[in-house]
Structure 1
Amino acid sequence: MAETEKAEPPKTKTRPIVRIGIFLISHSLLASVVCCTAGVVALLLLPVLAKNTYISENALMPGSASSMLSNWDISEANRLVKELSDLDSDSEEDAGIASRRILSNYMSNLGAEVGYHKFQPQLNQFHPLHFFSSPDSSIPDHNLTYSSYGISVVGIIRAPRGDGKEAIVLVTPYNFGKNGRGDSFSLSIGYTVFSLLTRVTWLAKDIVWLIADSQYGEYAPVATWLRDYHSPVFTSTSGVDARSGGRGDGLYVLNENHFARRKISNGFRRAGTMAAALILKVGDRNSPFEETLTVFAEASNGQMPNLDLINVVNYLAVHRQGLHVKVEKFWSLVNSKWLEVLGGVFELVGDVARSLNPSWKFGIPAADYVDGAATLASSLYYQAVGIPTGPHGAFRDFQIDAITLELSPKVASFNKGRHNEFVLRSGRLIEGVIRSVNNLLEKFHQSFFLYLLTSPGKFVSVGVYMIAFALLVAPLPLVAASLYIDATKVNLGLKNGKHTPTATLDGIGITFKSWKWLSAAKEVFVVHLWGAVVSLLPYFICQIPNCSPTTSFGIWVFLSIFSLLVLYLILGSPFSHVHAPQPQNKEWAIVKSVTMSAVFIGLLLMSVVNFATAEFGALVIVPLCLIARPLKLDIKAAKMRSFLRVICNVVLCVVAFPPVSFFLLKGISEGFESINVGDFWNWMESLWAWNSATYIYIGMVHLPCWVLCMHVLLHYSC
């Protein structure tokens, strides 16, 4: 029998995803340019791509019922405010006690349950072990005097149709003993609504009215009350002890009738699980033309309330009460010439698109684009900073949807008629919002939690603005892989001297014989460890007494540079390989490859915690990582392209340095004449005091990667 020839095994085809990966790595330069350009363009297009807001939860039904607020409620509120303003006490402490007594009597006479909450102000001191947890402040320090405490008044209405398992919270900050015109206005509106809600029959959720003692700030009383509400301490310290014989005794004994005494309690009163919260303020500044409502929604680490809550407020304010609704914006960008030009370009493109096909709805007027871009930048910035823009941030820490509403009356609202009209419109707005939330059978969940606002009635969802971030960070793994392959001389399927994306896995020829990346990985790891040390230095600097912000910042910079020099003495500086042998001429490429991998991982992790911070970080640090190359190589080349790359590297290194980035942003938004060196220390101090994850990102991701890019630029072993 003749021997049969052995059939050759069929060649395995490379998977399409692998072919695409090989193609992108082979053309990483082109892919980087395309992705970064597309990412910046996508970011600039966000105001154009913004959609109109809409109410997702049908059960809210805003404006479906007529308001029940009457002039009688307003007259009672005016009588309360007049009685508070007529108080004549020798000290602010006595005036505060008398004010609380009057408020408790008024609420108790309405049939509400009244209690007090005593708290002590918290010092904003950096503590690394408590960074991501709230300080243990529910038990006050007994060594403090009575005047060192704040005491808030809490009133609770039990819902006639409810089972006590859910509640809606209304907060009005009030400075007892030293109230201003805005405090009186907000208290008048709050009492008007509270008085109405004690008589209605449609309530299915308890109503909690917290009159927060704002003498130590507006955030502290709300935050401490929420901590005690959700983490009860079974002692008499969280309330006002009537048996102590101190000042707190007067709050209880001075109630005049038996009914009030039965309703007013010194213990901590609670209602059900909070469905939503509204913080009501009246600004001291008046609006010159019309009554306005400013909505503040940003909470800690970029958290936002459910968009439906903002939509209900916006709908009722605009279509029912005729208020002008605003959100914060960067006013410096409103007058920006380049934004006007860009808006004109998008408007022109939209006109051309509509002329080709009327169904193509692209482009907005240039003025709307500028206004939307200024609002979007403000929303992105406040989310990235991670500091709450109002007391509502304390509720978001407990996953409670809350917003701060700041009302501004007209300048001509000083007469009695205008005053009553303003209180009536504001009270009806709060009544309508509470009625809509009262209709819910479950928590807010239908609408968006991740979004950016371009106006009170327009938003950009996470599915849209994440495209810009994805495009910006996409080149990092591609360039990192390309650099590593080139540095270790790995063959990527060469054919006729060119890269072929159709190469098989066997043709890639990747081996693990070279372990050069371990040295680079060690260097990158140690520099990130140095970043952690730099992040902890403020804890020790804060222990220095009588240290100004400028001095603290100087000490921080000196200790950071000194620790970095010590680190380089141990590991070897970028100048230690001047006479390095030729085989090490690609060491900088491996360091850059590992650095870009670290940046990619750091930005992805940060996007999970605070997407806005990751967006800003990608916009600043990614171009520097991509373009970083030893300056000596470009100087030796003596070409125009190399010269331009040197200029770009120097500019990007300066701009990407965190203090410089801060001063540039502050100068653009507030003017460069107001810049002070100590402002950066104050800003960083506010970040760690509010437990902002942006502080961790700057210290442990951004700054180490900037140092590593400087290491690559100054690398002489090439």
Structure 2
Amino acid sequence: MAESGSETAAGAKPKRKPIVWLGIFLISHSFFFSVVFSAAGVVALLLLPVLAKNTYISENALMPGSAASMLSNQEVAEASRLVSDLTSSNLKPLGSAIGSQRILAQHMSNLGAEVSFHKFHSQRNQFHPLHFFSSPDSGRVEQNVSCSMHGVNTVGIIRAPRGDGKEAIVLVTPFNSAKVNPNEAFSLGIAYSVFSLLNRVPWLAKDVIWLVADSQFGEYAAVSAWLRDYHTPVFSGLGTLDAEMCPESNNLYGMNENLSTERAIYDGFKRAGTMAAALVIKVADQSEQFEDGLSIYAEASNGQMPNLDLINVVNYLAVHRQGLRVKVEKFWSLLGVKWLNTLGEIFESLGHFARSLNPDWKFGIPANDYVEGSATLASSLYNQALGVPTGPHGAFRDYQVDAITLEISPKISLLDNIARRNDLLLRSGRLIEGVIRSVNNLLEKFHQSFFLYLLTSPGKFVSVGVYMIAFALLVAPLPLVATSLYVDASNSDSSVKKEKPSPSAIITRESWKWLYAAKKAFIVHLWGSVVSLLPYFICQMPSCTPTTSFIIWVLLSVLSLVLMYMVLASPSSHTNESQPQRVEWPILKSVTLSAAFIGLCLMSVINFATAEIGGLLMLPMCLMAHPLKPDVKARSKRTLSRAVCNLVLGFIGFPPVAFIVLKGAFEGLGSTNVGDYWSWVESLWAWNSATYLYIGMVHLPCWALCIHILFHRS
């Protein structure tokens, strides 16, 4: 009995696990499921504005608006006088930027703040492969550098009466000291009104730093240089710099003779505690709206975003306390797209139908809200995918400090109406006061809410758990089709083995085909790395226009590809008798799909938006890749249609062409040329954007492999 039972058990086939059975089923129907998953990924992306949730305050300690504002007309009047002093004509006899800086330092010092100057040297961002992921060393003052290329930040610090000096909140107001701008002067007035109030409030538990960033060489450069020196000890002050090289630097300290010892300008770099949050305050030109507006800019380098609670606090206080119309950036060109409006009407009708079945089903939004949400979502995706900060707040995110830029847009000119100017000063100052008071309540850094999200409006967002579904569905066909091609190739090898008497020869053939395909894919990706490094050498050429640089880049890229193929992958190094050494296109396509899948998944960890947009461009090209020669010979409607689609997708998939097509779709083709692509790529590497590496080391090699498959001799 025991023996028969054991024989039955030995003869029975082991049951497959459900996940193995599911994998086999998906691979065996890879074409059908690749179409389904791709379509589902696009639909899920279009559904994101519908699935967006209302924002909410996750951290209860913030308590925005729980306390009455203490900012009064007295602080507003003092701030208005500062604005008048900066914009009045009596600044002209001072002749230089030092005049306005001395006025700012004088007002800060009169409040009892610790005032100091921070001198930095403006450096031009230039591509360097070894320093790609490091910040430019813009904070170092070097010898033998023209004094005209130096900027001076004015810094004031208020010590919290109830704090221990371990935490700080930063206010930033960009100000071009060389040319007084009324809007920048007004932003200084807003910060000064809040600064003068915080000097005497009893509830302040965090130090407050007011950084007047000298923006004559760029807002970001001034803030970045100050942050670098803030986090890196510097043992020499402004007064110890070479006075012969920059003699006017000492003039900044001339006011010390008229001030008491306690209020003197400090010679040295003053610091406070760890930064809890930072607000960049700017004032835009007169708005075209019928009400005062507030624009929020949050994107930092490589798609980094501040904690959503910081945006939520600003949005709540601006709308419900100060009556400001809050806006986030959107693509205005999408608002008039007909198919998007039609899609919004469809989703609105589906929402009405769902609520008719069950009132508790909350699906669908008005068509207008869907179109605006889609335009805002597209802008959020685009700005995150670029990896370029949308304001000087991006410098703080590099040090893991939550920061945003607040741009106030008045509905009328502030110079013509003093009463309106004071009213907007009061409302804006109370907004900043409320945000600072909320951050002041925190006992720890922002951590409760989301760091990975996409905005569809100031009050709605899509979390990472929702938008990753669209990406997962979009890239799911890549491993399915790659595995299916692998199985088909293995089955064809098995049929050949029955005719071949030498098993060792068959094993060598099978292994070599995959090794040769992997080797060719590796060489092409290595070529992509070389192409990514070529701009470093092209930038060394003097007097090159963007168009000329782009043409040189293309020629050197083609030359390097030919040389690498001749040296590393030339078929002449193999004997002609070994036919399996010729790469078959299904095997190469399987390797290409695998490489694309790995590259997109890795990029999604660094910058999701880049991976999502890259997947939309790369997926059709990779999945449709098929040799053109047999399709043209067949001359059927299906094969000819596939050949035309492959040619179109291969043309659009080329990165410069894709850039020109997308730019033309949003801005028009009238002002577009090939030199714009070089300028765009130059901005990517200047800001150390990971999108540049993705284009050169993932997208471009996969495109080259797909083109190789199209022209494969089958």
* SS of alignment partner, residue 260 of structure 2: helix
Partner of 1:502: none
Provide Cα deviations, 1:613-650, integer angstroms capped at 9, x if missing partner: 00111111011111101111222232222122112111
The 2-side partners of 1:38 and 1:112 are apart by 58
The answer to whether 1:255 aligns with 2:256 is yes
Closer, same or farther in 2 for the Cα pair 1:461/1:651, shift >3 Å? Answer: same
Deviation at 1:547, TM superposition (A): 0.5
The 1-side partners of 2:3 and 2:207 are apart by 92
Partner of 1:19: 21
User: Residue 35 of structure 1 is aligned with which of 31, 34, 37?
Assistant: 37
Contact 2:277 2:403 in 1 (8 A): yes
Contact 2:302 2:607 in 1 (8 A): yes
The 2-side partners of 1:12 and 1:468 are apart by 36
Partner of 2:553: 556
Partner of 1:614: 611
Partner of 2:444: 442
Which one-letter code corresponds to 1:450 in the other structure? L
The 2-side partners of 1:4 and 1:16 are apart by 29
Which one-letter code corresponds to 1:352 in the other structure? F
* SS of alignment partner, residue 274 of structure 1: strand
Contact 2:110 2:263 in 1 (8 A): no
Deviation at 1:244, TM superposition (A): 8.7
User: Residue 486 of structure 1 is aligned with which of 474, 485, 488?
Assistant: 488
User: Residue 653 of structure 1 is aligned with which of 647, 650, 654?
Assistant: 650
Q: Unpaired segments of 5 or more residues in structure 2?
A: 496-506
Which one-letter code corresponds to 2:343 in the other structure? L
Q: How does 1:520-535 map to 2 (within 5 A)?
A: 520-535=517-532
Provide Cα deviations, 1:245-297, integer angstroms capped at 9, x if missing partner: 82121111223544266442020000000000000000124334111000000
Partner of 1:387: 388
The answer to whether 1:686 aligns with 2:677 is no
Which one-letter code corresponds to 1:616 in the other structure? I
The answer to whether 1:701 aligns with 2:702 is no
* SS of alignment partner, residue 617 of structure 1: helix
Contact 1:118 1:238 in 2 (8 A): no
Partner of 1:496: none
Shifted more, 174-183 versus 156-165: the winner is: 174-183
The answer to whether 1:637 aligns with 2:630 is no
The 2-side partners of 1:643 and 1:589 are apart by 19
The answer to whether 1:589 aligns with 2:586 is yes
The 1-side partners of 2:3 and 2:186 are apart by 104
Deviation at 1:79, TM superposition (A): 1.6
Partner of 1:170: 171
Which one-letter code corresponds to 2:20 in the other structure? V
User: Residue 431 of structure 1 is aligned with which of 430, 433, 443?
Assistant: 433
Closer, same or farther in 2 for the Cα pair 1:61/1:575, shift >3 Å? Answer: farther
Closer, same or farther in 2 for the Cα pair 1:90/1:611, shift >3 Å? Answer: same
TM-score, normalised to structure 2's length?
Answer: 0.94
Partner of 1:506: none
Contact 2:87 2:181 in 1 (8 A): no
Closer, same or farther in 2 for the Cα pair 1:3/1:161, shift >3 Å? Answer: closer
User: Residue 513 of structure 2 is aligned with which of 516, 521, 544?
Assistant: 516
Partner of 1:464: 466
Query: How many residue pairs are counted as aligned between the two chains?
Result: 700
Which one-letter code corresponds to 1:49 in the other structure? L
The 2-side partners of 1:218 and 1:306 are apart by 22
Provide Cα deviations, 1:173-231, integer angstroms capped at 9, x if missing partner: 01113111111110111111101110101000000000000111110010000000001
Partner of 1:50: 52
Partner of 1:184: 185
Hey, which of these two has a bigger chunk of helix by percent?
A: 2
Shifted more, 169-178 versus 138-147: the winner is: 138-147
Closer, same or farther in 2 for the Cα pair 1:586/1:225, shift >3 Å? Answer: closer
The 2-side partners of 1:348 and 1:698 are apart by 40
Deviation at 1:677, TM superposition (A): 1.8
The 2-side partners of 1:115 and 1:198 are apart by 17
Partner of 2:671: 674
The answer to whether 1:355 aligns with 2:356 is yes
The 2-side partners of 1:670 and 1:472 are apart by 27
Closer, same or farther in 2 for the Cα pair 1:550/1:256, shift >3 Å? Answer: same
Which one-letter code corresponds to 1:60 in the other structure? L
Partner of 2:229: 228
The answer to whether 1:149 aligns with 2:150 is yes
The 1-side partners of 2:62 and 2:570 are apart by 63
* SS of alignment partner, residue 118 of structure 2: strand
Shifted more, 9-18 versus 451-460: the winner is: 9-18
Which one-letter code corresponds to 1:453 in the other structure? L
Closer, same or farther in 2 for the Cα pair 1:203/1:245, shift >3 Å? Answer: same
Provide Cα deviations, 1:8-35, integer angstroms capped at 9, x if missing partner: 4143212221111111111111110110
Shifted more, 34-43 versus 75-84: the winner is: 75-84
The answer to whether 1:420 aligns with 2:417 is no
Partner of 2:207: 206
Provide Cα deviations, 1:138-163, integer angstroms capped at 9, x if missing partner: 32122123322100100000000100
Q: Unpaired segments of 5 or more residues in structure 1?
A: 494-509
Deviation at 1:568, TM superposition (A): 3.2
Contact 2:86 2:180 in 1 (8 A): no
Deviation at 1:109, TM superposition (A): 1.0
The 2-side partners of 1:515 and 1:237 are apart by 67
Partner of 1:330: 331
* SS of alignment partner, residue 20 of structure 2: helix
Which one-letter code corresponds to 1:276 in the other structure? A
The 2-side partners of 1:250 and 1:238 are apart by 10
Which one-letter code corresponds to 1:451 in the other structure? Y
Closer, same or farther in 2 for the Cα pair 1:712/1:360, shift >3 Å? Answer: same
The 1-side partners of 2:346 and 2:571 are apart by 46
Closer, same or farther in 2 for the Cα pair 1:644/1:580, shift >3 Å? Answer: farther
Closer, same or farther in 2 for the Cα pair 1:41/1:252, shift >3 Å? Answer: same
The 2-side partners of 1:254 and 1:244 are apart by 21
Contact 1:574 1:715 in 2 (8 A): no
Partner of 2:346: 345
Deviation at 1:488, TM superposition (A): 2.8
The 2-side partners of 1:342 and 1:370 are apart by 9
Provide Cα deviations, 1:70-92, integer angstroms capped at 9, x if missing partner: 11111111222222233546688
Closer, same or farther in 2 for the Cα pair 1:87/1:575, shift >3 Å? Answer: farther
Partner of 1:504: none
Provide Cα deviations, 1:468-495, integer angstroms capped at 9, x if missing partner: 11011111111111111212326999xx
The 2-side partners of 1:256 and 1:200 are apart by 30
Closer, same or farther in 2 for the Cα pair 1:71/1:513, shift >3 Å? Answer: same
Partner of 1:305: 306
* SS of alignment partner, residue 488 of structure 1: helix
Which one-letter code corresponds to 1:20 in the other structure? L
Closer, same or farther in 2 for the Cα pair 1:4/1:382, shift >3 Å? Answer: closer
Provide Cα deviations, 1:427-465, integer angstroms capped at 9, x if missing partner: 111000000000001000000000000000000001000
TM-score, normalised to structure 1's length?
Answer: 0.93
Closer, same or farther in 2 for the Cα pair 1:261/1:518, shift >3 Å? Answer: same
Closer, same or farther in 2 for the Cα pair 1:260/1:212, shift >3 Å? Answer: farther
* SS of alignment partner, residue 247 of structure 1: helix
Contact 1:477 1:600 in 2 (8 A): yes
